[in-house]
Structure 1
Amino acid sequence: MHHAPNLQVLSAFAFRPLLIAVATAFSIPAIAADANVAIDLPTVPVTGNPLGVASDELVVPIAVISGRELSLKRESTLGDTLNGIPGVSATQFGPNASRPVIRGLDGERVRIMQNGTSILDASSLSFDHAVGVDPLIIEQIDVVRGPAALLYGGSAVGGVVNAIDHRIPKEQLEGATGRAEMRFGGPSNTRNGAAVIDVGNGIIAIHADAYTRRTDDLDIPGYAVSRRKSEQDGTPRENRGKLVNSSAEGDGGALGAALTFDNGYIGTSFSTMNNNYGVVAEENVRIDMKSNRWDVASEFTDLGGMFNRVKLRAAHTDYEHRELENGSVGTTFKNRGLESSIELGHRPLGALSGVIGYQFNNTNFEALGEEAFVPSVNTQNQAAYIYEELAIAKHKITFGGRLGHTTVDSKDNANFGTGQSNSFNPNSVVLGGLYNIDSNWSVTGNLSHNERAPSYFELYANGAHMATGQFEVGNTDFKKERSKGVDAQLRWKDAKNSFSIGTYYTRFSNFIGLFGTGNEIDVNGEFLPEAKFMTVPAVFKGVEGEAKFNIANNLNLNLLGDYVHAKDLRNDKYLPRIAPLRLGAGLHYQRNSLGARLDVLKAFAQTHTAENELKTDGYTNVSALVSYKLPTKLNLELFAKANNLLNQEIRDHASFLKDISMQGQRSILFGLRGDF
C-alpha cells in the first residue's frame, strides 16, 4: 500500500515514541503553573440542537459522555464503549469491530460522525469492518436517539453518534492543557497509551495527539461456539478459553491548528489511523486498515445583520483496508470522499430562533479482489435543512425539515455487469415540543416522518459475503425507505437527583432488510445460503429509562433499563439481532481522592427470534472499578477495572457472531490517567 512520504515522517515522529509524548505532556503543568495561567478545556455544544442549548433543554433523547466518565468507560471499539447506554447495544463482531445499534437499528440507519461530519469507512457494509475512529482520542461522545436527529443526515432514522475531539481548537487558549493515559491487562492483555496536548498564545492554538494500541487473543470463559449452534449444525466446540484470531494492533494521531478570536475561530487538522486486527469469523484472515483525514472548520458568532452566526465544516477522507488471507492480499476496500456543510443561524425573530443549512458529500467506494460482493460505486448526497425553536413562556416548540437529493451510481464491472444509476429525493420532517410542568418535571415529544435513500450495497450487492457466510443479493428497483415515528419522555430533576423514562414507536412502510430465501448458491464448490435485501412493513417500539439518586453524601445509585420490540409485519415475525430486555443498577462512591463503583447489568434471554436465528441465553455482568488520585502536584489518577466478575458466558443477541464469539472472561485492567 502506498504511503505518502509526509505520513511516514509523521508516523515515525508521533506514534512510536508515545511514552516520550506522555512524559512531555506531564512536564508542561509546571511551566503553566509558574506562569500563573488559568487553563480550561472548552465546553462543546451538545449534538442534537444547532442552537447550543444544554442537554436537559433538548427535545430529543440524548446521552452525553465526556471527561473523566468517558475516560473510565472507554473500550477498544466505539460500539463497546457505548453499549449499555439506555437504547444502545452493539454489533460486536469480536473485540475489534463493533458499531453502535440504537433502538434495534444499525448500519446505515445510525449515522456515525466525527466533529459533526461523517466518518468515512466501510463499517456499515460489513460487521467485520471496524469504525474509522479510535475511542482513545475522543473527548466527548453524544448519542442522539430517534429520527429527530435528521438534521445530521437523512439516513439517521435510528439516531446519531457524534465523536468529538479537540483536533481543531475552537476556543482562545493561553498556556497549555492536555491529558494522557495508559492501560494494561484485561481479558485481551491490553497495552494502550494515548497523549493529547493543546497549546496557545491567545491567538493561535495548536493541537497534537498520538495513541498506540496492542491486544492479544481474547480470553473467554468457555468455548467460542455456543452449545445451541453445535447442536443445530454440528459445528465442533474447539479452542476452549481463547477466541482465536482476535488480536489487534494499531496507532494513530493528529496535528491541528486554529486562529482564535473573541467571537470565533478558523482552523484545520490532519489525522491518520492504522489498525491491523483479526477477523474472528475466519481464522486465517486479518484486516489491515489505514485512514487519513483532513478537516477544516470555522465558526463565528455575534455577527451583524439577519444571520448572526455562521458555521462551516469540511472533511476529506482517504480510507483503505486490505483483507489478508494467510498473509496474502485477498480483497481491498477503498472509500474516498468529501463531506462539507455550511450553517447559518438567524437572529431571534421575537421568540423564534433557528438555523438553515446545506450539506454535501461525494464518495467513491471500490471493492477489488476475489471476495468483492459489491461493485465500485459513486454516491452523492446534498440536502438543505432548517431547524426552528419557538419559545412559549417556559416551554418550547421545535420544527425541523430536510430536503435531499441522492444519486448512487455503480461502475461497469466484469462480475457485476453494466453500471447502473439510481437517484432519490429523500425528505424528512419532525415536530417536537418541551413542556415544563414545574421546576422539576418536564415532558418532551417528537413526531417525525423520515425518508432514507437505499445504500449502495442494498442496491448492488451480488456475491459471497464470507464474513456473514451468505450470498447477498441487492435490488436496484428499491424506492425510498419511509417511516413515521413518535417518541416521548418524562423527565424529573432535583439538585443531584434525576430521572427520565421514554417510549417510542416507529413504523416503516418499506423497511429494507436482509432476509434468507432458503436457497443455496454454489460458490466455487461451497454452498452458501442466499440472503436478499427485501422491503417489508415493520414496526420498532420500545421503552428506555435511567435515573440517578444521591442516597448519601458521597454515594449515588444509578438505574437504567431498555427494551426493544421489532417485528416484520408481512408475516408477523420478529426481526433479527434485536437486543433483549436489559436492566441495570450501580453504586458509585467518590470521596476526596478515592472512588469506587459496582455495576450490575442483567440482560434477559432473547426468545423472540427471527427465522433461522438461534435464541440467546441471558446473563448478568457484574463489574467494578476503584480509582485513586495520587497526592502529587500533577492531576494523576490510578484505576483498576474488573469486568464479568461472575465469569459468565456473555453473548449479546445483537451480535452477528453471537454463536461463535463471546465477551471476555473475568479480568482486571489497570490504568493511569491524568490531565492538566
Structure 2
Amino acid sequence: MNKPISFPMRRQAIACAACLALVPAVQAQSAPAATTAQSQASSPSTTLPEVVVTGNPLASGELTLPVSVLSGDELVLRRGSSLGETLNSQPGVSSSYFGPNASRPIVRGLDGDRVRILSNAGASLDASSLSFDHAVPIDPLIVERLEVLRGPGALLYGGSAIGGVVNALDNRIPKTPLQGLGGAAELRVGGADSESGGAALVETGNGQYALHADAFARNTSDLRVPRFTPLQDGGALPEADRVRNSASRARGGAFGGSLFFGGGHVGLSVDTYDNVYGTPAEEGIHIDMKRDHLGLAFEAKDLGGGLLRAVRGNANYTDYRHAEVEADGAIGTVFKTRGSELRLEAEHAPLGSVRGTVGAQFEDVDFSALGDEAFVPDTRTRRQALFALEELAWAGGTTTGGVRIEHARVRSAGDEDGADPRFGAPSERSFSPRSASVSHLLKLTPQWSLTGALSVSERAPTSFELYANGLHAATGVFERGDATLQKERGRNLDVALLWKSGEDHLRLGAFASRFSRFISLEATGGTVDVVDDDGSTRAVAEYAFRPVRARMNGIELEGRHRLLDAAWKLDASGKLDFTRGTNRDTGEPLPRIAPLRMLVGLDARRGPWGGRIEVDHAARQDRVPATDVPTPSYTIVNLTLTRSLQLGPGDGLWFVKVGNVGDELAYSASTVRTVRDLSPLPGRSVKTGIRVAF
C-alpha cells in the first residue's frame, strides 16, 4: 500500500492536518493550518497553502533552504520499498542503493551520519548510518508525507544533519481533533521485485480524543534486471537476470491516540517494525531486523499574553535489533541499539518585528555489536544541545538567524575479552560542536524571490569513526577508526532564485560547501590478513578514517509549467542536479557522488483519467577516486496511468506503472563498488495498485 495514512475530507467533518497533507489540493501540515482545516472541513473545495514542518519551527510560508515535499498522489506513485528509492528522483537526492532493500538517502553527495533521518521530527535511532547494508527501519508504506531539507540542518537537529534532513511524517499521534470514523486501505502488486503489499488504517474521535491504528505487510522476490554479468572480488559470475539474495519480507503496525485541550494536545503511540531481507553482497546470508518504538508528543498553543506563545515537544524510546543470519540459520553478528531522545521547543511572543523559538535536545544511545563481523566495540553516546532561531521581517525582506550549542560524549567499552584484543581499553571522548546560520529572503516582485543562506556547522565523530577496527563485510575492506579525531567542521553557502505564478513555478539554486576537517574513509595503501570461516587467510585492503579538507559544489534546477488548461490539462515538469565533490588534500574526487542527472516529465489529465511519461537520465560518472571505476550513463523511460474513483462518501485511486520501458541496464554511481556490480537498477516491470479511503 502506498497511501495508508490518508482519507478525504467528507461531510462528516473528518479532518486532521496529517490526513489533509495527503489530499493533493490540501497540503497543510502546520498547526495553524490544521486549525483552519478543522473549521473548514465541511468545504471539500477549500485549498490551503502547503506549510513545511522540517526546519521550520515558526511555520513560515517560505523557506531560505530548499525543501522537497512528497505527499498525496505523487507519493503514492513514487513510493518504493525504501526511503532511498522513494526519494531518489528529488533534486539533490540520490541513494546508497545496497540492493533494493537497504537504500539510505544521500543528500548533495553526503551520506551516513551527515544526513539525519527523522520520524515525525524525532530521531530514528538505528544502525543505518553504520553500514550500507543496514536498512532504515521506516517503511514508506506507512508514511503519509516526506520532507527533505537539502543543506545543513545542524542548527535544529544536530551535527548529524550537517548535510541534510529527511523527515518521515505520519499520523500515529493525531495532531488535530477527529470527528467520526475514517480510514484507508491500499493493495499493490507487481514490479521488478514482484511486490505484493498492502496496508490499512482506521482513525476515530469525538473532538476530545482521537485514536489511530494501522498495519502493513510487504513481500518481494529477487529483483528482476536486464541480463548482466555480475562481478565479485574482481571475477565474473555466471550471467543473470535477477539480483541474487534480494528478496524481503516486512511487517509492522502501530496504535496511538491523543487527548485535546484548549489550544493543544498530548498523545502517545507504540509501533513495531519487522524486516527480513537479503543482501546481494553475501549469498545465502539474510538480515533479521526488528524495531520497537514508543513515542510521546505534546503541544500547547495560544498561551495568552505572556512571554511564551507556544510550547511543544516529543520524546522517543527505541529498541532496535539487527541480526545477520548465516545460510545454515546460525546468527553471525548482532547489532543492538537502545536509545531515548527528548526534544523541547518554546516559541516566544513577538518582540516587535522579531519572532523566534528556543529549544533543547537530549539523546542517550547504547550500541552493541556481537559476533565475528563486529568491527565496532560497544559504545554509549550522549548528546545535549541548546538552540535558538529568530526571524525578523522588515522592509528589505525576511532575515533569519540562529545558533546551536551542543555537547557530545562517546564512550567505548573496549575489549570485553582480553583473549582477542581488538578495541583496546575502555575510553571516552568529549566534543562541543557549535553551529550558526543566517539567511535572507527577498521578494523582488510578487512572483520572484531571491534567497541566500550562510551557515557554519560542526559534527562530533561517530563511534565507528573513532573506534572501528575490523573487517567491514559490506564494503569488503578492513576499517580502522582514529580515537584522536577532532570535530568535523564545514561552511555552506546556498543561494536560489524562485518564481511562482499560478500552477507554474521555477527554482534555480546553487550551493558551495567547504570543510576544513572532513572525516573521510581513505585507503592507506596497505592490506590486512583476515581469517575466513573455513580457516583460510586472505589479504584485504586497509582503510582508515582521516580528517581531510574537502569541497562540495552543485546546482539544482526544478520547475513546472502548464502547457494546456482546458478539457485536457497538460503540464511539463523537469528537474536537474549536479554535485561535484573534491578531496582538497589529494585532489581526488570524493567517492559515490551522483553524476549530472535530469528528469523530464509530461503529465496529462482529462476528467478522472491521468497519465505521465518521464525520461530519467544520468550522465556517465567518470570523476571517481583511484579506488573506484567509472559508471556508465543511462536513460530510463517510465509510464504511468491513473484513474480517480468516487466511492460514495469516499474516494480512490487506481494506477498502473510501467518502469524502465526499454529494459535499460543501469547502475547507480552512488552505490559502493562491492555491490554496484552485483545489483543493477530494476529492469522493465509493470506494477498496479488501488487505494481507497473513506
Q: Does 1:495 align with 2:502?
A: yes
Say which of 642, 656, 668 aligns to 2:686. Answer: 668
The CA distance in 1 between the partners of 2:124 and 2:56, in whole Å, is 20
- Aligned partner of residue 81 in structure 1, secondary structure: helix
Structure 2 counterpart of 1:316, one-letter code = Y
In the TM superposition, residue 234 of structure 1 has moved relative to its aligned partner by 4.3
Q: Does structure 2 conserve the Cα–Cα contact (< 8 Å) formed by 1:507 and 1:539?
A: yes
The one-letter amino acid of 1:423's match is: S
Distance in 2 (CA, whole Å) between partners of 1:459 and 1:149 is 20
Distance 1:380 1:597 in 2: 48
Residue 641 (str. 1) matches residue 657 (str. 2): yes
Within the alignment, does 1:659 sit opposite 2:677 as a pair?
yes
- Residue 528 of structure 1: aligned partner: 540
Q: Deviations over 1:494-545 (max 9, x none)?
A: 0110000100000000110111112111111121111111111000000001
Cα deviation for residue 52 of structure 1 reads 1.1
Q: Equivalents in 1 of 2:627, 2:474: separation in Å?
A: 17
Look up the match of 1:3.
none
Deviations 1:183-225 (A, max 9, x none): 1000111001011222111001001110001000011102252
Show the counterpart of 2:13: 38
**Aligned counterparts of 1:117 and 1:589: Cα–Cα separation in 2:** 38
Shift of 1:400: 1.3
Asked if 1:625 is matched to 2:653, the reply is no
**How far, CA to CA, are the matches of 2:209 and 2:608 in structure 1?**
35
When normalised by structure 2's length, the TM-score is 0.91
Deviation of 1:148 after TM superposition, in Å, equals 4.5
Which residue does the alignment assign to 2:627?
Answer: 612
Name the TM-score, length of structure 1 as normaliser: 0.93
The one-letter code of the counterpart of 1:537 is R
2:552 is aligned with what amino acid? F
CA distance in 2, matches of 1:44, 1:292: 26
Matched to 2:551, the amino acid is: V
Per mean C-alpha deviation after superposition, the further-off stretch among 146-155 and 250-259 is: 146-155
The structure-2 alpha-carbon separation of the partners of 1:72 and 1:48, relative to structure 1 and needing over 3 Å to count, comes to same
| 1:590 has 2:608 as partner | no
Deviations 1:278-309 (A, max 9, x none): 01100021000000000000011110210110
Aligned 8 A contact 2:16 2:174 in 1 = no
How far apart in 2 are the matches of 1:224 and 1:136?
Answer: 33
The within-5 A match list for 1:8-19 is none
Change (3 A) 1:631 1:383: closer
How far 1:246 sits from its partner (Å)? Answer: 0.2
Structure 1 residues 40 and 555, CA gap change in structure 2 (3 angstroms):
farther
State the 1:649 CA deviation: 1.1
Q: Distance in 2 between matches of 1:373 and 1:459?
A: 12
Q: Is the CA contact 2:250–2:274 (under 8 Å) kept in the aligned structure 1?
A: yes
1:377 pairs with one of 367, 379, 385: 379
- Correspondence for 2:492: 485
* Aligned residue in 2 for 1:9: none
Amino acid in structure 2 at the alignment position of 1:665: G
| Whole-angstrom distance in 2 between the partners of 1:641 and 1:210 | 24
Cα separation, partners in 2 of 1:320 and 1:224, compared to 1, 3 Å: farther
Q: Quote the offset at 1:659 in angstroms.
A: 2.0
Distance 1:224 1:298, change over 3 A: farther
Q: How does 1:535-550 map to 2 (within 5 A)?
A: 535-550=547-562
Residue 121 of structure 1: aligned partner: 126
Distance 1:258 1:58 in 2: 30
Correspondence list, 1:83-232, <5 A: 83-223=88-228, 225=230
Q: Counterpart of 1:128 in structure 2: which amino acid?
A: D
| Corresponding residue of 1:516 | 523
1:561 equivalent to 2:563? Answer: no
Is the deviation greater in 427-436 or in 257-266? 257-266
Q: Are residues 1:399 and 2:404 paired? A: no
Cα separation, 2, equivalents of 1:345 and 1:519: 54
The answer to which of 438-447 and 590-599 deviates more is: 590-599
Give me the whole-angstrom Cα distance separating, in 2, the residues matched to 1:345 and 1:462. 45
Superimposed CA distance per residue, residues 609-638 of structure 1 (whole angstroms, 9 cap, x where no aligned partner): 111101000001111110112353241221
Q: Distance in 2 between matches of 1:588 and 1:81?
A: 19
Partner of residue 269, structure 2: 269
- Conserved 8 A contact 1:88-1:101: yes
* Offset at residue 573 of structure 1 (A): 0.9
User: 2:153 touches 2:165 (CA, 8 Å); kept in 1?
Assistant: no
| Equivalent in the alignment of 2:40 | none
Which residue number in structure 2 is paired with residue 290 of structure 1? Answer: 290
SS of the counterpart of 1:147? coil
Give % identity: 43
Matched residue SS, 1:457: helix
Alpha-carbon contact 2:519-2:548 (below 8 Å) kept:
yes
Distance in structure 1 (CA, Å) of the matches to 2:463 and 2:414: 14
Deviations 1:226-267 (A, max 9, x none): xxx68xx64113241011100000100100010023411100
CA distance in 2, matches of 1:367, 1:451: 27
What per-residue deviation string (whole Å, max 9, x for no partner) do you get for residues 330-371 of structure 1?
000000000111100001111100000000000000000111
Match of 1:535, as an amino acid? P
> In structure 2, how many angstroms separate the alpha carbons of the residues matched to 1:643 and 1:424?
47
Q: Which amino acid aligns with 1:522?
A: D
Paired residue secondary structure (2:676): coil
Q: 2:367 and 2:291 mapped to 1: Cα distance?
A: 14
Paired letter, 1:488: V
Conserved? CA contact 2:640–2:658, under 8 Å: yes
The letter of the residue matching 1:546 is E
- d(CA) in 2 for partners of 1:379, 1:177: 42
CA distance in 1, matches of 2:153, 2:139: 26
Instruction: Say if 1:41 and 1:177, in contact at 8 Å, map to a contact too.
Output: no
Q: Which segment is superposed worse, 332-341 or 175-184?
A: 175-184
How far apart, CA to CA, are the structure 1 residues paired with 2:72 and 2:83? 16
SS of the aligned residue for 2:438 comes to: strand
Q: Do 2:107 and 2:150's aligned partners in 1 also have CA atoms closer than 8 Å? A: yes
Q: For residues 577 and 669 of structure 1, do their structure 2 counterparts lie closer, same or farther at Cα, with a shift above 3 Å needed?
A: same
Q: Is the 8 A contact 1:285 1:323 kept in 2?
A: yes
Q: Is the 8 A contact 1:486 1:505 kept in 2?
A: yes
CA distance in 2, matches of 1:515, 1:591: 55
Report how many aligned residue pairs link the two structures.
642
Asked if 1 retains the 8 angstrom alpha-carbon contact of 2:340 and 2:363, the reply is: yes
Structure 1: 5+ residue stretches without partners: 1-17
Q: CA RMSD in A?
A: 1.6
Aligned to 2:71: 66
| 2:367 equivalent in structure 1 | 365
Question: Which of 427, 432, 456 is matched with 1:449 structurally?
Answer: 456
The 8 Å contact of residues 594 and 629 in structure 1, kept in 2 or not, is answered as: yes
Query: Which residue does 2:309 correspond to in 1?
Result: 308
Select between 208-217 and 146-155 the one with higher mean Cα deviation.
Answer: 146-155
Please give the alpha-carbon distance, in whole angstroms, between the structure 2 residues aligned to 1:535 and 1:631: 58
SS at match of 2:528: strand
* Structure 2 SS opposite 1:502: strand
1:154 Cα deviation after fit? 2.3
One-letter identity of the residue aligned with 1:640? V
Residue identity in the other structure for 1:259: L
